[in-house]
Amino acid sequence: MRIAVCPGSFDPITLGHLDIINRAAKLFDEVIVLVSINPAKRNSCSFTTEERLRMIEKTVAGIENVRVDSSDGLLADYLREKGACAIVKGLRAVSDFEYEFQMSLANKRLNPEAETIFFTAAAEYMYLSSSIVKQIASFGGDISEFVPACIRKEIESRLSRTPQAPRK
Ligand code: ADP
């Protein structure tokens, strides 16, 4: 059985992430969407690990061969533990490339059995990131074109600011 892992912070999951997960699910027998917990970045996330996991679970509920997990360990070890053969990542722009290239070389060193596979982002999601979604939602903007419909309300209510009284 060919298992792939799609790692990320998913803070929150966007339609760009979902596109990559759907495409990976067509190529692999099983896809694990992995919320990577980085203790150094714990305070920089807007959603808790549990909230992120729950939003991903809702989003991928209809895709039969996709499951969701979290890990605070090394990705290379996680792959070994699950018998996974690939790390699937999305590349949006040249700016993603240098970091991802470095990570894929490091992971190859740590787990020579696993390959990193890059999918080019869909043209319509090229510009989309979790931070853009958070920024728009925090100003009360419309995020319906950027996030799965089943979690839009949850993101909006968590991130929208209470309107401030105008200053006199
Ligand atoms: P972000 O970079 O938005 O914080 P993550 O760290 O959760 O997102 O990213 C997880 C993976 O999903 C990475 O491989 C990233 O390149 C990919 N990804 C994120 N947004 C998109 C998108 N809009 N299109 C394609 N891939 C994406």
Q: What percent of the chain has pLDDT over 90?
A: 86
Q: What is the pLDDT of residue 114?
A: 95
Closest by Cα among 161, 160, 132, 153 to 55 = 153
Residue 16 Cβ < 6 Å to ligand 1: yes
Q: Which residues contact 149 (CB under 8 A, 6 or more apart)?
A: none
Which ligand 1 atom is nearest residue 7's CA?
A: 10
Residue 12 Cβ < 6 Å to ligand 1: no
Q: What is the pLDDT of residue 160?
A: 81
Residue 125 Cβ < 6 Å to ligand 1: yes
Task: Give the whole-angstrom CA distance, residue 86 versus residue 95.
Answer: 22
Closest Cα to atom 22 of ligand 1: 16
41 is catalytic: yes
Task: Give the whole-angstrom CA distance, residue 157 versus residue 137.
Answer: 9
Q: What is the pLDDT of residue 161?
A: 65
Low-confidence ranges of the chain (pLDDT < 50): none
Q: Which residues contact 6 (CB under 8 A, 6 or more apart)?
A: 17, 20, 21, 24, 31, 32, 33, 34, 87, 88, 89
129 CA from centroid of ligand 1 (Å): 6
Q: What is the pLDDT of residue 39?
A: 75
Task: Give the whole-angstrom CA distance, residue 104 versus residue 139.
Answer: 36
121 CA from centroid of ligand 1 (Å): 9
Write out pLDDT tens, residues 90-123: 999 887 889 999 999 999 999 999 999 999 999 9
Q: What is the pLDDT of residue 43?
A: 73
Q: What is the pLDDT of residue 93?
A: 84
Q: What is the pLDDT of residue 165?
A: 57
């896809």: which residue's tokens?
31
168 CA from centroid of ligand 1 (Å): 42
Burial class (CB in 10 A: 0-12, 13-18, 19+), 116: middle
Q: What is the pLDDT of residue 143?
A: 96
Q: What is the pLDDT of residue 78?
A: 97
Amino acid at position 77, single letter: D
What is the value of pTM for the model shown? 0.92
Q: What is the pLDDT of residue 109?
A: 97
Task: Give the whole-angstrom CA distance, residue 164 versus residue 168.
Answer: 12
148 CA from centroid of ligand 1 (Å): 15
Distance between alpha carbon 46 and the CA centroid of its chain, in Å? Answer: 14
